[in-house]
Amino acid sequence: FPSHDTSIFLTYYQKNFPIPDNYLTALHIDQRDIKWMGSASMGLIRFDEKEWSYFNSTNSNLPECYIYHITSDQNNILWLGTNVGIYRFNGNQFQAYTIENSALPSNRITSLRPGIGDTIYVGTSQGVCFITDNQVHRFSNCPADQQWVNDCAIASSGYLYVNTTFS
């Protein structure tokens, strides 16, 4: 670590950059150094240091939603945790995972964490699950089932740790 602060701060506002919303809710930098930002109602924002791109209900199949979390897997597939489910983005289109079309316990996504391989661990307002091979799977006999999951993390041992709010 440097002995002094070498940070450079850039502040992005609508008045000085072409972003559609000042209320940004999530941030992720992928393996190609592309910056992805989620918003409360204006969709997904992509910035590659040259161009800004936007994905929302007017130009893609991403519905109007609140984006809480953004992560990517080892294949650089982007995963969005929203208030209306999970959205997988392959660079061209979004694939929805909701309680209506998968084993997702709730559409309110509270945490997304990449695991080993293509596995994504998902915290929701009704428990924890995981996605692998593009399928949502529930854990059997999980003590966090039906509980609000605040966050989850994977240790170097491979163990999944889940932080919940028990009622």
d(CA 16, CA 77): 30
Look at the block and give the residue holding tokens 């080993």.
Answer: 116
DSSP letter for 3, please.
S
* Residues 23-75: tens digit of each pLDDT: 688 999 999 999 999 988 889 999 998 988 889 999 999 998 899 999 999 99
Which among 30, 68, 35, 64 has a CA at the least distance from the CA of 52? 35
pLDDT at 40: 86
**Is residue 5 predicted with pLDDT exceeding 80?**
no
Segment 155-162 shows an average pLDDT of: 89
Which amino acid type is present at position 35?
Answer: K
pLDDT of residue 21: 64
